[in-house]
């Protein structure tokens, strides 16, 4: 193995993984696959958790799978699409709801209840969380009990 070969990894398909603190319904695996680039013990050398969900389409029977939840650290959502405004979503921050279109970055301050719902189009949602990837995400994620 070369000296820095450990620094290069492919993501793994984490579509079927379930985070008990905020995933309450089944994912739409075909329409919205998810890859973990680093996190939850995968690529433990990384100081940042990065998970990407591809929104290929939004099924008619789409029932958002994420409930309001909080973290003990800040988090970022990045919505990206091939064309300007190609992915539309609804983001809840506390008691406020925002309609957003890609490209957009959303800061989710620690302790603020949040969630997203894909509404229209296609693209990618990056979630970036500042924690050692040797640790488990669920230790930093808490259901919101308004």
Q: In the prediction, which pLDDT does 22 show?
A: 52
What band does 62 get if pLDDT is binned at 50, 70 and 90?
confident
Q: Over the stretch 80-99, which tens digit does the pLDDT of each residue have?
A: 999 999 999 999 999 999 99
How many degrees, rounded to 5, is the angle at CA 52 between CA 49 and CA 56? 170
| E strands in 56-113 | 69-71, 75-80, 87-93, 96-101, 104-108
Is-contact 144 98, C-beta < 8 A?
no
Average pLDDT over residues 27-31: 64
Ordered domains of the chain (ranges, CATH): 28-143 (2.60.120.10)
pTM of the full structure: 0.85
What band does 1 get if pLDDT is binned at 50, 70 and 90?
confident
């Amino acid at each position: 193995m070369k000296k820095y070969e450990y620094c290069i990894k492919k993501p793994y398909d984490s579509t079927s993984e379930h985070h008990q603190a905020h995933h309450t319904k089944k994912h739409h695996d075909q329409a919205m696959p998810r890859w973990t680039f680093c996190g939850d013990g995968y690529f433990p050398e990384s100081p940042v958790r990065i998970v990407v969900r591809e929104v290929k389409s939004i099924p008619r029977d789409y029932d958002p799978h994420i409930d309001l939840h909080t973290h003990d650290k800040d988090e970022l959502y990045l919505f990206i699409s091939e064309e300007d405004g190609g992915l539309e979503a609804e983001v809840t921050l506390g008691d406020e709801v925002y309609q957003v279109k890609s490209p957009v970055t959303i800061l989710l301050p620690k302790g603020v209840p949040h969630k997203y719902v894909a509404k229209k189009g296609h693209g990618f949602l990056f979630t970036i969380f500042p924690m050692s990837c040797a640790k488990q995400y669920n230790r930093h994620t808490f259901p919101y009990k308004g």
